């Protein structure tokens, strides 16, 4: 499998197809079959979009927390830790931790 094929879509788009069993509302399937002549292709496209969206959300969340940590570290470097003011009240007299 080519690494770029997987990263572009989040999965190997050239992987073989496999039959699976899913349980879906039968009336929903009937209506969907009236709308599309390729229900499997439609479901696969919708599932691929869902997977791509979840991968993006996970990446965005990871990036968000990296920014939060960097911001707190910057604040700490500039102003010191919130805890330092209170830590002395809980440490032994000699300052050993």
Q: What is the pLDDT of residues 19-52, one digit of tens each?
A: 999 999 999 999 999 999 999 999 999 999 999 9
Residue spans per domain, the chain: 3-87
Q: What is the pLDDT of residues 39-93, one digit of tens each?
A: 999 999 999 999 999 999 999 999 999 999 999 999 999 988 877 777 777 777 7
State the pLDDT at residue 33: 97
State the pLDDT at residue 19: 94
Describe the crossing of helices 26-35 and 39-79 by its angle, rounded to 10 degrees: 100
The pTM (predicted TM-score) of the whole model is 0.65
Q: How many whole angstroms separate alpha carbon 69 and alpha carbon 62?
A: 11
């Amino acid at each position: 499998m080519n690494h770029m094929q997987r990263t572009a879509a989040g999965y190997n788009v050239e992987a073989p197809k496999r039959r699976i069993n899913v349980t879906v509302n039968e009336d929903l399937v009937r209506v969907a079959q009236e709308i599309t002549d390729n229900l499997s292709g439609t479901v696969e496209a919708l599932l691929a979009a869902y997977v791509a969206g979840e991968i993006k959300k996970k990446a965005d969340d990871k990036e968000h927390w990296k920014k939060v940590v960097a911001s707190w570290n910057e604040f700490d470097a500039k102003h010191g830790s919130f805890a330092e003011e209170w830590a002395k009240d809980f440490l032994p007299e000699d300052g050993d931790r």
